[in-house]
Structure 1
Amino acid sequence: MKKRLLSIILAASMVTAVATGCTQEASSETNNEGKGQEIVFWHSMGGAGGETINKMVENFNNSRKDIKVTAQYQGSYDDAINKMKSSQQGNAGPDVMQLYDIGTRWMIDSGYSVQIQKLVDEDKFDLSSLEENLLGYYSIDNKLYSMPFNSSTPILYYNKTAFKDAGLDPEKAPKNMEELKGMIPKLTKKDGSGRVTQYGYSMAVYGWFVEQFMSKQGLTFTNNENGRKDKATAVEFDKNGGGLKVLKLWKELNDSGNMGNFGRKTADTQNAFKAGQTAMFIDSTAVLSSILKGVDGKFEVGTAFLPEITSGDKGGVSIGGGSLWIMDKKDDKKQKAAWEFVKFMVSPEQQVLWNKNTGYFPVTKKAYDLDEMKEHIKKYPQFQTAIDQLHASPVEARGALLGVFPEARQTVETNIESMLQGKVTPEQAVENSAKNINSAIEKYNKTNK
């Protein structure tokens, strides 16, 4: 009897154990399904930008149970590119990567990414609500290669209080360089010893500004329609006269003694403006929040379109900043999950959050329909300038694609510095820049056929 009872107990225990095991196994499978796809996102945003990206990623993760995104800061854009190249050997790179605008041609040629247009078409995603000018930069032959994310353009920042003190109308910023040249002597201040305490105008030694002034003139930076009809094989700024016009003007302003030169670091020129050491300067719309915060009410800040080189120029401004690329990991599920994340990052609500905390444009026009965005622009009307300038710029002003753009910018900056120091003439600076960049283009094209 005892033996029979023991057998019954053992049998029952085995059934329970099997049932429990099945339940545990099912539970484990359910948990694995619940975790879903894990996505790694590499970005190069520090400070407020990095904090906001982390918040946006957190918002995405809270909205989805089937996808988890981990954001990883990779340092500068150049650092991120070098890490990307190394990671490709073991397919260990990210699923989504933020890359600066001038890396576009390189990324396309690398073959590391999936063309965004493919995912747009498969998902029947409507691009019409996104800003046409922003999409235009990252498109070739109407095919979108990456999703615009942190986009900006250059604008003129000016000290309205300094304008009033100089007897100038604070509501009338210079529309072109001739007007600017007439204003800056009035805005330049000196102490008793003749030392300049406030320059009328400043701009950092930044290659991006040369590219922007080329676009403003309606001229191309490289051949083959700015590298969009076909790969660029040479620059054009030395042949169409646009580059020389920009550098001659730069030299003239510098030699007048009314323009401050604070070097290559844009932050140094920004800090000079905040401190009242320059009355006007040009820089990205992305630094608007930082400028307003740094000025902190010491004077009234005005914003205006990037001045034309010559009155009547029919061009516009090109975008800067970066975009989101989906990497080709040969995994359809990860790719679809990455696409869901990218769509979320450019949604109206998230783009309002992004704009408010950074100053970058909302990628989607639907962001302007939200009350939060309307209130933000009302509070900071200076940003309306950036919106108006973007919409006033023709898509054709979208700028060049060049595989050696980082190197090209450094070359231009080095020659501008030599010119400002009186070591070379504007003509020589243009010629030297073109020669060195064309050599780099030739080498690049040979290895990236």
Structure 2
Amino acid sequence: MIRRRTLLAASAATLGAPAILRAQTVTELSFYYPIAVGGPIPAVIDGYCQDFQKQSGIAVKPVYAGNYAETMTKAVTALRAGGGPQLAVLLAAEMHSLQDLGVLVSLDEIGLDTEAKRWLAGFYPAFMANSRAQGKTWSVPFQRSTAIQYYNKTAFEEAGLDPNAYPRTWAELAAAATKLTKRDASGRVTRWGIKLASDLGNAQWTFGALAHQAGHRLMNEAGTEVYFNHPRAIEALTYWRAFAFERHATPEGLSAWPQLSPDFLAGNTAIIQHTTGNLTNLRTNATFPFGVAGLPGKDGPRTVVGGGNLYFFKAASPAERTAALRFARFLTAPERAADWSIRTGYIASSPAAYETPAMKQYVADYPPADIARSFLPVATGELSTFENQRVYKALTDQIQACLNGAKTPAQAMAEAQAEADRILRPFRRA
């Protein structure tokens, strides 16, 4: 059986009060937010919080707590100490782990009236996949993305490639990355063909996309089993490894997520795989023409969704929970979701956002902004299990060992499977 660790429950003294009254008793909320990509995102979030205070009288204090993993650790630590946030943006894929920690309150428990239920039904179904479990809704989409590839069109032209015909299959991408790799007279690489993130916290996202491109899903929906040693998972890792050891189009070993954008902007890497949330940053800072493309696949394009959802914590009082839900609805309103997408590059979380005049004009003026959304039909969910961070580390350690040349793909996946099985064994029902 799954054993859940719970925090002290909040008092229910105000549950009988109307929702609007309960919200009015709150003057301040704490909101943990991950900074994981470049750009002026804190200023955007600060502005939304200020606008919400003007509308509601409730001050929302954002705490910028590092990347997703760091933000989750800090939020849970603060909650255990009795001083945690009322809500946070954390990885959508962390739903099972957060449930097991016993820190969440569902939207159903907070209370959803008819209008709120219509709001909840308005999100893209693909983004709600990591939000529901056990008949309840545990989070709502906010900064959601798919993995996409950015490519230097000038480098494509230099290599004799068509900058308007991006590769659609693994074979085409491998050939292009080889041609794009540039060396000086001494043989030193001056431009890598491609870089994919393999650091902790990001390797599983890269690998999840590759596995999906090979026609494989890495876990079951319950989050209690993984399928790392499946032949198609091994095939995906083999393809990844070949960029370095056979194609010599990417460095051997670790490629860290924070370095991908600087390398791309400096012209040191022709293709990077990154989040849609980096689009505005690259568009603002690139000094060369670049393209945006969905990920190629073994036989055709496939990608993986990712990004963060808004979670609500049971340590909050009933009044704070209601106020936090009000803030979530404010953040995800169509006009604001459109503004968020325009200013960051993340995919707006609802179809209604794309019907706003601002978004229609933005897409008309800059069509690449709509490429990621067009790949939602061929996207899969991110790896999501109980004890997610431990499973991520087990998988990442083995991926890195393979990319370093220490293990074969089959060896690495067998060991990742064995460790993940050990971690997840307590969560499997008989």
TM-score norm. by structure 2 comes to 0.85
- Corresponding residue for 2:327? 341
Distance 1:129 1:273, change over 3 A: same
Is 2:263 aligned against 1:276? no
Secondary structure of residue in 1 paired with 2:143: strand
Secondary structure of residue in 2 paired with 1:37: coil
Distance 1:162 1:289, change over 3 A: same
- Corresponding residue for 1:21? none
Amino acid of the structure 1 residue aligned with 2:392: R
- Corresponding residue for 1:253? 243
| Aligned with residue 376 of structure 1, among 319, 343, 362 | 362
- Corresponding residue for 2:293? 304
How far off its partner does 1:119 sit? Answer: 4.8
8 A Cα contact 2:196 2:272, kept in partner: yes
- Corresponding residue for 2:178? 185
Secondary structure of residue in 2 paired with 1:438: helix
Amino acid of the structure 2 residue aligned with 1:70: K
8 A Cα contact 2:93 2:382, kept in partner: no
Is 2:381 aligned against 1:393? no
Q: Aligned pair count?
A: 400
Structure richer in helix, relative to its length:
1
In the TM superposition, 1:35-434 aligns within 5 A as 36-46=25-35, 48-65=40-57, 67-89=58-80, 91-119=82-110, 121-124=112-115, 125-126=117-118, 127-140=120-133, 143-205=136-198, 206-222=203-219, 226=220, 228=221, 230-232=222-224, 234-239=225-230, 241-255=231-245, 256-260=247-251, 263-295=254-286, 298-308=287-297, 310-312=298-300, 316-329=302-315, 331-390=317-376, 392-393=377-378, 397-434=380-417
Distance 1:173 1:120, change over 3 A: farther
8 A Cα contact 1:156 1:307, kept in partner: no
| Aligned with residue 438 of structure 1, among 397, 421, 425 | 421
Return the alpha-carbon distance in structure 2 between the equivalents of residues 269 and 118 of structure 1: 41
How far off its partner does 1:172 sit? Answer: 0.7
- Corresponding residue for 2:8? none
Amino acid of the structure 1 residue aligned with 2:32: H
Secondary structure of residue in 2 paired with 1:325: strand
- Corresponding residue for 2:12? none
Distance 1:193 1:311, change over 3 A: same
Amino acid of the structure 2 residue aligned with 1:266: W
Distance 1:335 1:269, change over 3 A: closer
Secondary structure of residue in 1 paired with 2:27: strand
**Contiguous gaps of at least 5 residues in structure 1:** 1-31
Return the alpha-carbon distance in structure 1 between the equivalents of residues 263 and 25 of structure 2: 50
1:167-222 Cα shifts (integer Å, max 9, x gaps): 22111101111111222232222211122212222212122111122233342212
8 A Cα contact 1:198 1:279, kept in partner: yes
8 A Cα contact 2:93 2:130, kept in partner: no
Return the alpha-carbon distance in structure 2 between the equivalents of residues 170 and 90 of structure 1: 53
How far off its partner does 1:331 sit? Answer: 3.3
Secondary structure of residue in 2 paired with 1:81: helix
How far off its partner does 1:317 sit? Answer: 2.9
Return the alpha-carbon distance in structure 1 between the equivalents of residues 255 and 177 of structure 2: 21
| Rg larger for | 1
8 A Cα contact 1:161 1:300, kept in partner: yes
How far off its partner does 1:58 sit? Answer: 0.8
Return the alpha-carbon distance in structure 1 between the equivalents of residues 112 and 211 of structure 2: 34
TM-score norm. by structure 1 comes to 0.81
Return the alpha-carbon distance in structure 1 between the equivalents of residues 69 and 250 of structure 2: 31
Identity %: 25
What is the alpha-carbon root mean square deviation over aligned residues?
2.7
Return the alpha-carbon distance in structure 2 between the equivalents of residues 189 and 311 of structure 1: 27
Distance 1:35 1:143, change over 3 A: closer
How far off its partner does 1:251 sit? Answer: 1.8
Return the alpha-carbon distance in structure 1 between the equivalents of residues 255 and 191 of structure 2: 19
Distance 1:231 1:305, change over 3 A: closer
8 A Cα contact 1:303 1:382, kept in partner: yes
